[in-house]
Amino acid sequence: MKTIHLLPPALQTALQAGLVASLLVLGGCKDAAEKTAVAGATARAAPEAVSLPAIATEAKGFTVGSAMSARTVYVFFDPQCPHCTALWEAARPLKSQAKFVWIPVALLNGSSAPQGAALLAASDPAAAMDAHEVSMRERKGGIGASAGADSQKAAVEANTKLFNRFQFSSVPTIVSKHAATGEMVVREGAMPTSTLATALGLQGPTAN
Position 204 scores a pLDDT of 82
Could you say which residues of the chain have pLDDT below 50? 1-26, 32-43, 207-208
Give the closest residue to 116 by CA, choosing from 173, 78, 65. 78
CATH T-level fold of 47-200: Glutaredoxin (3.40.30)
Position 113 scores a pLDDT of 96
Length of the chain: 208
User: Which DSSP string do the residues of 81-93 spell out, in sequence order?
Assistant: -HHHHHHHHHHGG
Position 31 scores a pLDDT of 55
Query: Domain coordinates of the chain in residue numbers?
Result: 47-200
Position 181 scores a pLDDT of 96
Position 157 scores a pLDDT of 98
Cα 172 to Cα 82: distance, rounded to the nearest angstrom: 9
Position 87 scores a pLDDT of 97
Q: How far is CA 91 from the centre of its chain?
A: 12
Position 51 scores a pLDDT of 96
Position 156 scores a pLDDT of 98
The secondary element (H helix, E strand) that includes residue 13 is: helix 9-27
